[in-house]
């Protein structure tokens, strides 16, 4: 990878001081997750699949708003790399998440037992749920047809 590409990637991902925002948001997710997990898992009332889908979306949305600074896997598709080498700005490329947000919501809601604190959520986000690769917008659209949580597979996995 060229030094210019690395420099551009650093500029793209360092828009703000994200570490404090990330910690604060993980703390709130850790506070709202237990009652939602209890609902999702049917511990308090029986919930329909439609209701479970909504709960997954709520958690997925909270994950969507977590800062993704420093979570680039270092992977870029061949087409995206070629476009960049031909002068395309990184801002025109798309972040493809190997672990889709909705799947991440389902994963967090399905975990059993206590101990899902802000530190564990932060660790899961940094090591698994928040990582992304660069692809072209067309490649990302091609993956949306299989964005169902149980079916999406990243081209990088």
Look at residue 20 in the predicted model and tell me its pLDDT.
87
pLDDT of residue 10: 58
Quote the pLDDT of residue 89.
82
Q: How far apart are alpha carbons 12 and 135 in whole angstroms?
A: 15
Which residue carries 């025109």 as its tokens? 92
φ/ψ of 45, rounded to 5, equals -145, 160
- The domain locations on the chain are 19-144
pLDDT along the chain (157 residues), means of 10: 58 63 93 94 91 95 89 93 87 88 93 86 94 92 67 49
> Which pLDDT value is given to residue 34?
92
């Amino acid at each position: 990878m060229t030094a210019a590409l690395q420099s551009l990637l650093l500029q793209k991902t360092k828009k703000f001081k994200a570490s404090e925002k990330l910690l604060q948001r993980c703390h709130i997710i850790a506070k709202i997750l237990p009652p939602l997990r209890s609902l999702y898992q049917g511990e308090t009332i029986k919930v329909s699949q439609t209701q479970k889908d909504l709960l997954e979306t709520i958690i997925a949305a909270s994950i969507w708003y977590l800062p993704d600074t420093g979570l680039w896997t270092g992977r870029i598709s061949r087409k995206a790399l070629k476009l960049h080498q031909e002068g395309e700005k990184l801002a025109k490329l798309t972040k493809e998440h190997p672990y889709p947000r909705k799947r991440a919501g389902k994963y967090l809601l399905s975990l059993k037992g206590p101990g899902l604190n802000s530190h564990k959520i932060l660790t899961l986000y940094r090591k698994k749920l928040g990582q992304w690769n660069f692809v072209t917008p067309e490649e990302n659209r091609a993956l949306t047809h299989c964005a169902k949580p149980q079916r999406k597979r990243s081209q990088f996995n």
